[in-house]
């Protein structure tokens, strides 16, 4: 069963989301605060994806995202942000969210985002080769983990998918559109900026010096390239 958690303090929006996700075939549990969400998650280890409102009483959506991410690196997380809070998108992604949806959103848009993230969480089936090696990095495509010099680097699902795209295209310049399509899918409604934000976050995790990247280089006016 595809189980998701919806965290939103405004009951009308929460019901709207819950009803639509149930209609789309998901098993849904809901919470009206971050504290309640964490308690529910501790009792429901089968939750695969969480929809988190940013503005919550008590601990806010960003802090909730951080805490969930620390406990469940593989959880899919989508932030629900307000249109006026442009900065939310970047902050949300920097705290470990996989995606964001801007309010007000249509049921169609929300379901498309959740379905897309679920497809990425689902893995890509049996692979003949499980390790892709590049320089000090080894990407295990079976358990979706990355190591650098044998030490594991904790990645979100989006970061993992970007790394896989890079490591399958060593030395090839990938446009930001290539990355957006390769990672988020063709039906994605978002902006190219999400690519840059994720690359920035990935560099912090994998580079020796994120301000002087040695592995993910910028191809000015085009995109990014992987090289070791
Ligand atoms: Ca709220």
Whose CA is closest to 165, among 128, 201, 120? 120
124 Cα: distance to centroid of ligand 1 (angstroms): 35
Q: How confident is the model at residue 85 (pLDDT cuts 50, 70, 90)?
A: low
50-83 confidence digits (pLDDT tens) = 999 999 999 999 999 999 998 888 899 999 988 6
The two three-digit tokens of residue 169, written as one number: 């295209």
Residue 88 pLDDT: 64
94 Cα: distance to centroid of ligand 1 (angstroms): 20
Q: Which of 67-71, 142-146, 198-202 has the highest mean pLDDT?
A: 198-202
10 Cα: distance to centroid of ligand 1 (angstroms): 6
65 Cα: distance to centroid of ligand 1 (angstroms): 14
Neighbours of ion ligand 1 (CB under 5 A): 9, 53, 55
Q: Which of 128-137, 138-147, 215-224 has the highest mean pLDDT?
A: 215-224
Least confident of 82-86, 155-159, 160-164, 203-207: 82-86
Least confident of 17-26, 87-96, 132-141, 218-227: 87-96
- Beta strands 223-226 and 216-219, pairing class: antiparallel
Q: What are phi and psi of 100, to 5 degrees?
A: -145, 155
Determine the average pLDDT of the residues in 164-172: 91
202 Cα: distance to centroid of ligand 1 (angstroms): 29
5 Cα: distance to centroid of ligand 1 (angstroms): 15
17 Cα: distance to centroid of ligand 1 (angstroms): 13
Cα–Cα distances in Å, from 79 out to 70, 172, 228?
Answer: 16, 32, 34
182-198 confidence digits (pLDDT tens) = 888 777 777 888 899 99
Whose CA is closest to 117, among 59, 189, 23, 22? 189
Determine the average pLDDT of the residues in 175-179: 93
Residue 126 pLDDT: 38
DSSP state of 75: -
7 Cα: distance to centroid of ligand 1 (angstroms): 9
pLDDT over threshold 90, residue 118: no
pLDDT over threshold 90, residue 132: no
Of residues 9 and 73, the one with the higher pLDDT is: 9
54 Cα: distance to centroid of ligand 1 (angstroms): 6
Kind and range of the H or E run holding 110: helix 107-121
């Amino acid at each position: 069963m595809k189980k998701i958690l919806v965290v939103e303090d405004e009951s009308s929006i929460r019901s709207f989301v819950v009803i639509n996700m149930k209609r789309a075939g998901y098993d849904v549990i809901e919470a009206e605060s971050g504290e309640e969400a964490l308690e529910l998650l501790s009792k429901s280890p089968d939750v695969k994806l969480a929809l988190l409102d940013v503005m919550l009483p008590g601990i806010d959506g960003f802090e909730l995202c951080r805490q969930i991410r620390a406990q469940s690196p593989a959880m899919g997380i989508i932030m629900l942000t307000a249109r006026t809070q442009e900065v939310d998108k970047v902050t949300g992604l920097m705290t470990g969210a996989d995606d964001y949806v801007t309010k007000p959103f249509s049921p169609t848009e929300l379901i498309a985002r959740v379905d897309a993230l679920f497809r990425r969480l689902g893995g890509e089936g049996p692979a003949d080769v499980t390790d892709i090696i590049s320089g000090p990095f080894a990407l295990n495509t079976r358990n979706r983990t990355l190591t650098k010099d044998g030490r594991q680097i904790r990645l979100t699902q989006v970061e993992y998918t970007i790394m896989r795209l890079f490591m399958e295209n060593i030395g090839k310049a990938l446009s930001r559109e290539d990355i957006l399509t390769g990672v988020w899918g063709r039906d994605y409604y978002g902006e190219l900026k999400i690519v840059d934000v994720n690359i920035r976050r990935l560099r912090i995790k994998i580079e020796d010096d994120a301000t002087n990247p040695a592995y993910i280089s910028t191809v000015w006016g085009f995109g990014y390239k992987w090289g070791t």
